[in-house]
Homo-oligomer: A and B are copies of this chain.
Amino acid sequence: MNRLPEYKDILQAAECISPYAKRTPVLTSTWFNRQTGGKLFFKCENFQKVGAFKFRGACNAVMLLDKTDAKKGVITHSSGNHAQAVALAASLNGYKATIVMPKNSPSVKVNAVREYGAEIVFCENTIESREETAKKIMENTGDVFIHPYNHPDVIAGQGTAAKELLDEQPDLDVIIVPVGGGGLMSGTLIAAKSINPKIEVIGAEPELADDAWRSFKSGQIEPVLRTDTIADGLRTSLGELTFSAIQNLADDIVTVPEESIIRDMRNVWERMKIIIEPSCAVPVSALMDGKISAEGKKAGIILTGGNVDLNSLPWL
């Protein structure tokens, strides 16, 4: 069923994951309001199970699997948070999980995947190497593949974050999300535009991984050219499904430099007292750098995750 989910699939996902996923809080910050001239509402998916929104999509996708197929095992490739998410979702169902991880994945994420009982297979730091490695394993084992973003049930699960945010703050003018593979942005677009077509949904990505911005402008999927942005959750290219959602529904995509990402990661830690990973800071920087204006608006920001290696902070 290689089609985009509809809003009813997001509502079904919300029900399906509700016994397992957290309903995360929405925080505000006087300081950020003052800096941006808007009213910002931060949906704290860094407090989600496995420390990231990725659990929503993985949980929904694993729950919806055919049980006979899934008994052979589930497999995915991921630089980190989707890996933990699939590992936990599989273990909740008693399924075996194998995770293909690029060699440059942060150690905190590798360790967490191990803690959830999954088997890890390392590969090179490219999307091609991830896919090939996973494919070889699947040929031997018959494992079911859970794609990190280009998967209708994953996209439906990610859309539940925006739905919850809008349950709590129905009159947002704009929602800003980071774009990696585009799963969160696709789910957010479908949820938000179904609830209120007037809500703007804007993607934010690092200048060093601006593939979604280039794809949005050119009208075809442009691959990510480098994988060295500090925003390690955003080093992937769009898939066919996520590109089609973004192409048809997105209002805009903007990009921000590495210095801004590090500065605003620290600003969020210092001013809001919450731990976010670099990818999370990208939409915040889009506002702080004036790439998106929040002046006089109510803006929702999905803070995507909080898995950071506390031994190596980017500003030290």
A residues neighboring B (CB under 8 Å) = 25, 27, 30, 46-47, 49, 51, 108, 266, 269-270, 272-276, 306, 310-311, 313, 315-316
Contacts and interface: CB of A to CB of B under 8 A. Distances in A.
Chain A interface helix/strand/loop/mixed: mixed
B51 A306 contact: no
Contacts of A30: 49
A47 B108 CA distance: 25
A176 to B, nearest CB: 20
B273 A46 contact: yes
Contacts of A316: 311, 316
Given A46-B273, A269-B275, A273-B306, 10 more contacts: A25-B25, A27-B47, A47-B273, A266-B310, A273-B274, A273-B276, A275-B275, A310-B313, A311-B315, A316-B316
Contacts of A313: 310, 313
Contacts of A274: 273-275
Contact of A273 (B266, B270, B275, B311): B275
Copies in the complex: 2
Contacts of A311: 315-316
Nearest to A307: B273
A21 to B, nearest CB: 12
A311 B49 CA distance: 28
A315 B306 contact: no
Contacts of A315: 310-311
The 3 closest A-B pairs by CB, nearest first: A273-B306, A273-B275, A46-B273
